[in-house]
Amino acid sequence: MGTDEPDGREILVVGAYFVDLIFHGLPEPVRPGREVFADGFTMMPGGAYTLAMAAHRLGHDVVWATDFGTDPFSTHVLHAARAEGLDESGFRHQPTPLRSLTVALSTPEDRAMVSFQDPSSPQPLSSLLRQYRPRVLMVPQLRYDADTVHALKLARHLGITVVMDCQDVAVDVDTPGVRAALASTDIFAPNAEEALRLTRAPTMDDAISRLTELVPTVVIKLGSAGATATHDGERYDIAAPQISALDTTGAGDCFNVGFVHGLLAGWPPAKCLAAAVACGTAATTGPGSSTAPGTADLERWLARTTISSRAAAAREQRRQPVQPPATH
């Protein structure tokens, strides 16, 4: 699970900001023709901001490559980034509005989202990789266009570890470019529904099996049930601490940062997964990503996690001596 260490930055995050308009504490899912009142409302910075902010809170050297416009949503996230002390070297400021926002309707179990984004042309990924030479590249959603696939191959050539989320992208492994993108990704972290849809597999075990044919490390988010991961033919499972979640918006991004935090610390896969679940769980205790943990908070959440390794358990069982039959 170690990474090569180019002479450059520790983490490069690429991706757009979003402003999350979060209605939390909904008593039931919103249905057409019905009005539901939320217990609370919060406007929070989100999108790739969450990755950069959460990594920074855990003490990492992170650069976030993104664009801002002249609109109030851009201003809101830019102020939040500065308040967190994020490095601004990757920011580009456009002379026109560049709105990115999501309305999140959050119940304790899940959330529904409606998003809007002004069109934009992101910074070329290959150029960013050459400029910053990070140890880890974090990509917040499955990107499979030709330019991205080329950049991911460059990342591998440069010894950069690529960590990619899936998000709600309506493709599968047979969509042109998807297999090539996954084949150049080191750690892929979809949630359960995304993994099943992407692989068109009938079961989660089948989905994991198909993904591990393409990606060395597969990490599946299971929501309140925890997470499972495979690495080098071994599978790890962890149950999330039992809590009363306020809002799940941003939890998946915090989860990914927790895994990368462990990776950069040189932790074994099981502890990386524990850190991921700990960070993701912590994030659900407040609106948006506001409760993303720092290092001290992470240690407290880690103490509440339980990991199991299926392969390790099987090996241990095989090592147990066969007991002779009881005699009377």
Q: How many Cα atoms within 13 Å fall on the side-chain side of residue 59?
A: 9
* pLDDT at 1 (0 to 100): 55
Between 78 and 317, where is the model more confident? 78
pTM above 0.85, yes or no: yes
Instruction: Give the CA distances from residue 321 to residues 24, 84, 308, 313, 318, in Å, rounded to whole numbers and listed in that order.
Output: 54, 56, 22, 15, 8
Burial 2-39 (b: 16+ CB within 10 A, else e): ebeeeebbbbbbbbbbbbbbbbbbbeeeeeeeeeeebe
* pLDDT at 308 (0 to 100): 61
Confidence of residue 324 (pLDDT cuts 50, 70, 90): very low
Look up residue 49 and give its two tokens.
Answer: 């901001």
Whose tokens are 């609370």? That residue is 40
The least confident of 130-144, 150-164, 252-266, 308-322 is: 308-322
What value does the CA radius of gyration of the chain take, rounded to a whole number of Å? 20
Q: How many Cα atoms within 13 Å fall on the side-chain side of residue 66?
A: 32
Q: Is 45 exposed, middle or buried (0-12, 13-18, 19+ CB in 10 A)?
A: buried
Distance of CA 48 to the CA centre of its chain: 10
* pLDDT at 7 (0 to 100): 65
pLDDT of 202 > 60? The answer is: yes
Beta strand 187-189 with 217-221 is parallel
What does pLDDT average to over the chain? 89
Count H helices, E strands: the chain?
A: 11, 14
Strand ranges of the sheet holding 17-24, from the earlier edge strand across to the other edge: 40-47, 17-24, 100-106, 111-117
